[in-house]
Amino acid sequence: MSEKFVLAYSGGLDTSVLIKYLQEKCNAQVITVTVDVGQGEDLKAAEEKAQKLGVIKHFSIDAKEEFAKEYVFPAIKANALYEGKYPISTSLSRPLIAKKMVEIAAKEGATGLVHGCTGRGNDQVRFDITLSSLAPDKKVLAPIRDWGLTREEEIAYAQTKGIPISEDAKKYSIDASIWGRAIECGLLEDANQEPPEDAYDWTVSPQKAPDKPELITITFEAGVPVKVNGKKMAPLLLIKEVNSIAGKHGVGRIDHIEDRLVGIKSREVYECPAATVILEAHKDLEKMVMTRHEVLFKQQIDAQWVFLAYAGLWVDPLKDDLDAFINCSQEKVSGEVKLKLYKGGLQVIGRSSPMSLYDKNLANYNIKTTFDQSSSKGFIELWGMQTRIYNTLKKASKKP
């Protein structure tokens, strides 16, 4: 009797080819699962395509709200920027997709869980670890990696099987969620070549952006955004709104050299309008309401958190431990941050909070300040004591 395999299905080239490969090479019954995290694709078309390719069942799951609240919002609290640049938009969706695959596999009595990752990227790590952790009794298969399929071979195989290939698939490999859009392959593999304009979809070219700056105000409560320009919004709608506003000003284009977990340096191009704006605002607000010690220590926690999420360890117990600290630290991160968007640029121009540690009466240079400047002399004496002693000894040791 043939086995049942649950395949994470995007409707694209890789996973469409896998349906036929699994049927022919493994004599498997294939169940496809498409998880909507805001990629903006036609889910009905993906379902129809899967059915034409002979799957026994297809599941379309709308997980956008869950993704925004349970995955993106924790990333905002953690100021999640991998290597200081990438808002881990792709990374965040993988544990959610894996979770839904496991739920379907349990419901349908499947014995295998299949993803379409290659052996060169990070997603294979994320899927393998999460799937095997959540369903240790199931097989985890990565046929494109394990069978060594190249993109050219996939295209040739698809043509022999009558599998439709989009023009985008021939040019780029694209992955998107509400938190960002990743573009790879083709001309982008030349790290010295500027990305063509047709690689972008969510952002206008900065040269074609409006000639007038636009101000946007983000309101946070307990570390997460709740309002845009004074209007309260649910998580998903809020992210969509900021994506739209920032995108029309060309804000959120990211082009950098990234260190993949598997050791490869890769040129990565992303569009992350909302993530770029919201993370910048959140970091700025934290600096207003947290002490110096909290800010510096949390930077270390944030770096570890984003590495775990990027490196496929979303279900590792250390992440739960870090979440506990981060959630506690965010209780007082409430207030408003005002930003100016202009031709691809982003600038924080104002912030306010009921929990602000900034005191104008202490910080101003007016003679009426409440800060007692005479206290500074004694502080400097103590603060620099060891530095002065060291330099005195150093000078003495050089005497003949």
Do both 143 and 181 map to the same domain? no
Cα 342 from chain centre: 23
Residue that is last in its domain, among 147, 175, 203: 175
Assigned domain for 359 exists: no
Name the residue with tokens 């004591």.
Answer: 385
Q: What is the CATH number of the domain that holds 238?
A: 3.90.1260.10
Do both 305 and 324 map to the same domain? yes
| Span 150-166, average pLDDT | 80
pLDDT value at 363 more than 80: no
Q: Which two tokens stand for residue 384?
A: 């620099």
Q: How far apart are CA 252 and CA 274, in angstroms?
A: 7
Do both 217 and 299 map to the same domain? yes
Do both 171 and 182 map to the same domain? no
Assigned domain for 250 exists: yes
Assigned domain for 326 exists: yes
Backbone angles phi, psi at 352, to 5 degrees: -150, 150
Q: What is the reported pLDDT for 4?
A: 96
Q: How far is CA 225 from CA 17, 87, 289, in A?
A: 40, 16, 16
Task: Give catalytic residues, as residue numbers.
Answer: 14, 94, 123, 173
The pTM (predicted TM-score) of the whole model is 0.91
Residue that is last in its domain, among 175, 200, 231: 175
pLDDT value at 364 more than 80: no
Assigned domain for 97 exists: yes
User: Where in the sequence is the domain holding 134, given as residue range(s)?
Assistant: 4-175
The residues with which 218 forms a beta bridge, in sequence order, are 228, 337
Question: pLDDT (tens digit, 9 = 90+) per residue, 272-286?
Answer: 999 999 999 999 999
Do both 160 and 180 map to the same domain? no
**Cα–Cα nearest to 34, from 10, 70, 4, 15:** 10
Higher model confidence: residue 371 or residue 298?
298
Q: E-assigned strands of 300-368?
A: 335-342, 345-352
Do both 161 and 259 map to the same domain? no
Q: How far apart are CA 309 and CA 196, in angstroms?
A: 30
Do both 185 and 317 map to the same domain? yes
Question: pLDDT (tens digit, 9 = 90+) per residue, 57-109?
Answer: 999 999 999 999 999 999 999 999 999 999 999 999 999 999 999 999 999 99
Assigned domain for 322 exists: yes
- The count of structural domains within the chain is 3
Assigned domain for 357 exists: no
Q: How far is CA 301 from CA 53, 79, 173, 243, 308, in A?
A: 46, 10, 32, 27, 11
**Cα–Cα nearest to 258, from 270, 274, 250:** 270
Q: How far apart are CA 137 and CA 241, in angstroms?
A: 42
Average pLDDT across the chain, whole number = 93
Assigned domain for 358 exists: no
Q: What is the reported pLDDT for 208?
A: 97
Do both 18 and 133 map to the same domain? yes
Do both 144 and 264 map to the same domain? no
Do both 93 and 30 map to the same domain? yes
Assigned domain for 13 exists: yes
C-beta separation of 174 from 147 below 8 A:
no
Q: How far is CA 312 from CA 101, 265, 359, 385, 386, in A?
A: 16, 18, 42, 47, 45
Residue that is last in its domain, among 175, 192, 216: 175
Do both 346 and 370 map to the same domain? no
Backbone angles phi, psi at 343, to 5 degrees: 45, 55
Do both 103 and 226 map to the same domain? no
Q: What is the reported pLDDT for 154?
A: 83
With H, G, I as helix, E, B as strand and everything else as coil, classify residue 333: coil
- 59: alpha, beta or left, given left = phi > 0 and alpha = psi -120 to 50? beta
Q: What is the CATH number of the domain that holds 74?
A: 3.40.50.620
